[in-house]
Amino acid sequence: MQQYRKLTNAEVEKLKGQGCTCGDFSSVQIAENFNPDRVKNTHFSGSVKLGRFNKTITLFGGMQKSTGVFNAKIHNCVIGNNVYINNVADYIANYIIEDDVVIENIDLLAVDGNSTFGNGTELEALIEAGGRELLICDGLSSQLAYIMGLYRHRPKLTEAIRKLILAHADSIRSSMGRVCSGSVITHSGTFKNVKIGPATRIDGASWLENGSINSTIDAPVLIGTGVIAEDFIISSGSKVTRGAVLSKCFVGQGVLMGKQFSAENSLFFANCECFHGEGCAVFAGPYSVTHHKSTLLIAGMFSFYNAGSGTNESNHMYKLGPVHQGILERGCKTASSSHMLWPVRLGPFCVVIGKGHVKLDTSDLPFSYIFESESEGQSLLIPAMNLATVGTLRDIEKWPARDRRKDPNKIDLISFQAFSPFTIQKMSSGIELLRELREHCDGEYAIWGNMRLSVPAMENGIAHYQIAIKRYLGDRLIARLSGNPPGSIEQLRALLQPETQAGDDRWVDLSGLLAPEEKVLEVLDAIEAGRLDSLDKLHQMLGEIYSDYERYEWAWVAGRLEELLGGSIAKINTTDITKFLEEWKIAVQSFGDLILQDARKEFSEQTRIGFGIDGDDSVIESDFQAVRGTFEDNNIVSKVRNDVEKKKRIADGLIAKIAAL
């Protein structure tokens, strides 16, 4: 604990001689080894404590300055050791400023009354007119927000979570703000009721009010030029810069936001990227991306989402006000100038192209393309088309590599798997749906809701889903067997037995967390029963589900293998397994061929337009290869081919071992 004493008469006179004033200098206390030479032109009021100032700091460009307090008004503050404060236009009031903080060229930093610093702020997310209100708090996860907003049919659950968040808000309620150690605040405007975490960098912010900046030493937060934010929480490792404007917003870990992006009543979870454009009542789950000036995201829920330029999402039917919502499940994309009129629900990895005014529900047809047609009043649906695109493969691989979270405490629980029980069960439902539509189709097209599906598209969709399902099940089987090859049929059967029955039924996606529904319901029941009496315990229980993903996944896969093989795993024989692995090899090759066929389009004659601008065909070809390379040498193409061959070799080795049992 820092020890303080009162100023001596000589120190008081020294400070007065350096332009310092105070109504009662006895209210100013100082640390031992305090150097009065480092405090000049400063007015003190209220209770003030000053630390030691005996270091030199280096600022941007190599400029060195002595720590201390200069040209400021300080009211009711505790200022730590080797703080540098200079040129405060108005004043600093009711703040604890920890060691090694830099504050220079700002207008105001103050707390008025008791504040929870943004904690407990209510957002009207997803539905502008209300109905899915959420409370934000420090450490809010996308999973907790999902449960709070999407399970309103369980009012006891919603109320229990609200009480936990409000209890947290009360626990940090204070009349004193805090600027934590190592933070740097320069060339900025007004800060009212803001809690600023360790190592925060704020440069040029305009106005911050009622919020928490939860920076950490491992994952500092950057707030940049022209930022305006009120009623907010910003999590570790995020960068909010270049004129972003936020009102009633939660910003998760590793988020990038700027270039005049504006948002209100919205949540942006881990690794979102938001530039230009606008968001209103948005629930942006992990990896939601919008980069364009003309894009409007409103009243929607997304994750692993990419919004094309000019994307417009409308909930403005206004019969009863803006009461509609859009749910875009993980991995969806909207093409440039796409327009969707809520309500809409898109299944995982669907793509919307065009402008239309029809309501869509493709939740059981994942990986589909939807071509909107405003003039015809119907959308054209091509099931499973996105399964066969190299772009989808690229997206799936890039997300883990682009995790910007450096904080050891990663709040959002993110399952990166594109193929999982969640998506595969939807493909199975899609096969049943497409077969039924094809059976009752009496022409070239089937009409389903507001969408048209051609007969060839339905047949291709069924085939693509079947390939993907078999490939996924085989991948999991290979992973199960490769680590510990069985030495007997008894060992094989034992190895394939699941360790738990949990996971064998329906799966859900809690905004990034893939989980068995029954395990999620256990968490919800525990909250309602009062067994989870803190946010930490709630996060811990969800974390246990996340950690046990592979056990639950295998329980689901084992159940599907039994259905596919027509018998219990306890009675499975070597012929069953080897036959399935032979079929899996075909599925792996077929899936790889689909991806390579799509990738080859990127090297067609049409893609060479604009190359070799001043030459003949040979120059065009040479220029194209110099810039883009060749199909054969492309990294993704090579990876797909190598992956296919590797899996086939592994399968052949396992087939030989199992056949010999």
pLDDT over threshold 70, residue 317: no
Which structural domain, as residue segments, surrounds residue 101?
1-110
**What is the structure's pLDDT at 603?**
93
Same domain, 631 and 541: no
Same domain, 557 and 586: no
With respect to residue 173, please indicate whether it lies within any of the assigned structural domains.
no
Band of the pLDDT at 661, cuts 50, 70, 90?
confident
Burial class for 583, CB neighbours closer than 10 Å (0-12, 13-18, 19+)? middle
Of the chain, the end-to-end C-alpha distance in Å amounts to 70
Same domain, 581 and 540: no
**What is the structure's pLDDT at 289?**
97
Six-digit token string for 248: 């009633």
Same domain, 460 and 599: no
Last residue of a domain, one of 88, 110, 132: 110
Long-range contacts, 150-154 (Cβ 8 Å, 24+): 151/524, 154/524, 154/528
Last residue of a domain, one of 81, 110, 139: 110
Six-digit token string for 87: 């040129």
Band of the pLDDT at 357, cuts 50, 70, 90?
low
With respect to residue 133, please indicate whether it lies within any of the assigned structural domains.
no
Residues 648-652, mean pLDDT to the nearest whole number: 91
Give the whole-angstrom CA distance, residue 479 versus residue 488.
Answer: 18
Task: Count the domains in the chain.
Answer: 3
What are the DSSP E strand ranges found in 396-492?
A: 445-448, 451-454
Lowest mean pLDDT among 88-97, 205-214, 291-300: 291-300
Last residue of a domain, one of 552, 571, 590: 571
The amino acid sitting at 434 is L
Residues 65-79, mean pLDDT to the nearest whole number: 98
Same domain, 9 and 71: yes
Residues 254-260, mean pLDDT to the nearest whole number: 97
Same domain, 437 and 564: yes
Same domain, 478 and 626: no
Six-digit token string for 277: 């454009």
Band of the pLDDT at 375, cuts 50, 70, 90?
low
Residues 120-149, mean pLDDT to the nearest whole number: 95
Tell me the whole-structure pTM to 2 decimals.
0.95
CB count within 10 Å of CB 278 equals 20
Same domain, 580 and 567: no
CB contact at 8 A, 281 and 298: yes
With respect to residue 216, please indicate whether it lies within any of the assigned structural domains.
no
With respect to residue 158, please indicate whether it lies within any of the assigned structural domains.
no
Same domain, 454 and 560: yes
Residues 124-141, mean pLDDT to the nearest whole number: 94
318: left (phi over 0), alpha (psi -120 to 50) or beta: left
**What is the structure's pLDDT at 377?**
67
Residues with Cβ < 8 Å from 88, sequence gap 6 or more? 71, 72, 73, 103, 106, 107, 108, 109
Q: Which secondary structure element, helix H or strand E, spans residue 643, and what is its range? A: helix 635-659
Mean pLDDT across the chain = 94
Tens of pLDDT, residue by residue over 497-511, are 999 999 999 999 999
Residues 462-471, mean pLDDT to the nearest whole number: 96
Determine the 3-state secondary structure of 82 from DSSP.
coil
Same domain, 580 and 565: no
With respect to residue 563, please indicate whether it lies within any of the assigned structural domains.
yes
Same domain, 486 and 424: yes
Give the whole-angstrom CA distance, residue 587 versus residue 476.
Answer: 14
CB contact at 8 A, 11 and 32: no
The amino acid sitting at 292 is H
